[in-house]
Structure 1
Amino acid sequence: MIRTIWIGLLVLWLILLAASDVACAEDAVFKVGVATRDFVPVEPFDWRGAGTHLLRAVIWYPAAADAREEPQWIGPRILPFVSTGRAAPDAAPAEGPRRPLILLSHGFGGIALDLAWLGAALAAHGFITVAVDHPGNNRSEDRTVEGYELKWLRAVDLSAVIDAMRSDKAFGDRIDLGRIGAAGHSYGGYTVIAIAGGITDPERTEAFCRSPAADALCTSQADATELRLKSRARLGADPDYRQRYGLASQSWRDARVRAVFAMAPGPVPAFTPESLGAISIPVAIVAGSADEVAPPASGAEVLGKAIPHATLKLFPGAGHFVFFDACTVVGRLVVRTPCRDPDGIDRDAVHAETISLALDFFTASLR
């Protein structure tokens, strides 16, 4: 019986593999290359309690026509959990003009590969994209209090990645430094709003979560609640942490970033309304109307109203993790929460529309 189940799962996986080959090849302009980097920013750098003192990054880019793409996965090789698309590891970059650069920021406790579906799609249409594991808040190692609460420093990570990409031997001369954008999901959505000029006041989140307007943002993730409580204790007992926490009120705007695309952004209540109203670069926001982690009423919709000229697209019935990579049948059984969508939601269709929106947005905004 168990052998029959495993054979069935293997057959389903092969079917999904064939389907993903077709979907990825439909409208691609370029083959996609993928490379990894361990960027070490100029010290001092606030590593937020992380054991690994480097910015681990994944880069997707237009590859030469003879590149050999192959399926990319997360999980066991035989029965992987998550598809991260097709790409040619360390392929030669395509020749041509300098290309726009898009920075990608993952969600709470995620990793760079969580946005492979978007990074690879943008690369197939001529963009160089780079996603980074944020120190102290990724699933490659234990999450830290600083990685959770000093979230505005994620914008510093993206700025450091721009610097590193500029000096990278393979990509530095291929990037158009006048055309840099950023996209992020969840905490990554917060990150790109911060780098666009949104200023954080952590007490605003605390006040929101004590108010009658409090929603799932305050309760949806138990480990986040635990980190928040630990942070309050540290503020009373750790002067160094208190000083770093006090840097929240600074602007972390990087003027090199000219447009941002936020997916299911949170925690939006932390931003000051005045700073949101002062954002002057193009901003596009997408979210699911049934987001169970960062409800649109306190997140995406607030940004859509507060940021001048921002655009907002809500996908009816979609949840928070619809902007996570596509999962295999095995992934939906094992990974569960990030791999499951509300009934009737087609994650691939949402991805396809989001990719189209992002392509149109960045093409128009980064001329």
Structure 2
Amino acid sequence: MLMISARSEAGYFNAAMKRIMVENKDQPVPVLLFYPSEQAEMSIDIGPYNIQVAPDADISPGKFPLVLISHGSGGGPLGHRSIALHLARQGYVVAAVMHPQNNFMDNSAEGTDLNWQQRPEHLRVVMDHLYGNSAISSSLKPDTVAVIGHSAGGYTALSVAGGEADLNRLTGLCDQHPEDNAVFCQKKPGDLSAPAFKERAVIPGVPDKRIKALILMAPVGIVFQNEGALNKLNVPVLLMLSEHDELLPEGFHAGIIKDNWPQGESIRYERVSGAGHYAFISPLPDMLRAKIADVAYDPDGFDRVVFHQNLPARCDSFLKKYLK
């Protein structure tokens, strides 16, 4: 394997990575842990992806903020690898979570109330594990966590930080605007997100004081439409939305979060010009582009590769203000 320089030119550290499995009462939560290291990076293949990383290396001395990444429905922990690797090189420990039953290998819970309920719990058990594991917690800054979430992961970030989600809003959305929200409103056998399912859960907001900042990327927002749904949140937020979001239109999602935010000065609202919904997912290798064309799709004129040369640094510059 090709060896890379011992000190990454992209940051202060090299990026290391290891796989961990976090115990959960229902089923374990797989995590890819990215973190700063002094050991040399090398080129490795993980499935269809090739990344530069130091596998299973020792973590650098020091204490680092913790960042959790929550992928969108049907995604996976490498979907936002450009952000994870950059942050590791800048001195963060990054836990890229793979949500059980809502990932590219097993998406059996998609559309169900169970999925909306258990997604925030996945992040909580990962935080508890990392802060409770002395081998890892000794390298973490105490109670200094950020959550980055894309699409359903944006919902997950808001929920775990204290947002109260009313899933009945999904039913109302499908009753009134099904043509604009097909991702929620297509009936399938056993799909509890279909309009016919009238009584749905309200998931109470329980703030986690360890969380100090959120980054939301094209987030699901309709479930936070109730007055006061976000009142328990008291953390700064960077909300980035896509100009041409074909799945989660601004007026039903990002716009609702902005309009319902309790502290206007603590939310930064940035529209990514020319982007589609999937722009925040790291560029896909050619072999995947043909297989999952929808995730690979970008509107004409939008260059995802160029965008991801800047997106990780934008995330870092925001987090540095609140975590370091």
Q: TM-score, normalised by structure 1?
A: 0.78
Match of 2:219 among 251, 255, 265: 265
Q: Structure 1 residues 252, 348: closer, same or farther in 2, change over 3 A?
A: farther
Match of 1:195 among 151, 154, 160: 160
Match of 2:59 among 93, 105, 115: 93
The aligned counterpart of 1:353 is 310
Q: Structure 1 residues 227, 278: closer, same or farther in 2, change over 3 A?
A: farther
Q: Structure 1 residues 225, 62: closer, same or farther in 2, change over 3 A?
A: farther
* Residue pairs, 1:34-53, within 5 angstroms: 34-41=17-24, 45=25, 47=26, 53=27
Distance 2:190 2:281 in 1: 24
Q: Is the contact made by 1:289 and 1:319 (CA closer than 8 Å) also made in structure 2?
A: yes
Aligned residues: CA RMSD: 2.7
Alignment of 1:67 with 2:40, yes or no, is yes
The aligned counterpart of 1:317 is 274
Name the count of aligned residue pairs.
317
Q: Structure 1 residues 221, 206: closer, same or farther in 2, change over 3 A?
A: closer
Local SS of the residue matching 1:171: helix
Distance 1:166 1:230 in 2: 35
For structure 2, the 5+ residue unaligned runs are: none
* Residue pairs, 1:205-220, within 5 angstroms: 205-212=170-177, 216=180, 218-220=181-183
1:131-187 CA distances to partner (integer Å, 9 max, x unpaired)? Answer: 111122112224226766541321111111011112335322101123111101110
- % identity of equivalent residues: 24
Q: Is the contact made by 2:171 and 2:193 (CA closer than 8 Å) also made in structure 1?
A: no
The aligned counterpart of 1:138 is 103
Which protein shows a greater Rg?
1
The aligned counterpart of 2:321 is 364
Local SS of the residue matching 1:365: helix
* Residue pairs, 1:296-335, within 5 angstroms: 296-307=250-261, 308=263, 309-335=266-292
Distance 1:339 1:349 in 2: 14
**Is the strand fraction higher in 1 or 2?**
2
The aligned counterpart of 2:28 is 54
Shift of 1:32: 0.2
Q: TM-score, normalised by structure 2?
A: 0.88
Shift of 1:72: 4.2
Shift of 1:235: 6.9
Q: Is the contact made by 1:301 and 1:312 (CA closer than 8 Å) also made in structure 2?
A: no
Q: Structure 1 residues 313, 56: closer, same or farther in 2, change over 3 A?
A: same
Match of 2:74 among 88, 97, 109: 109
The aligned counterpart of 1:27 is 10
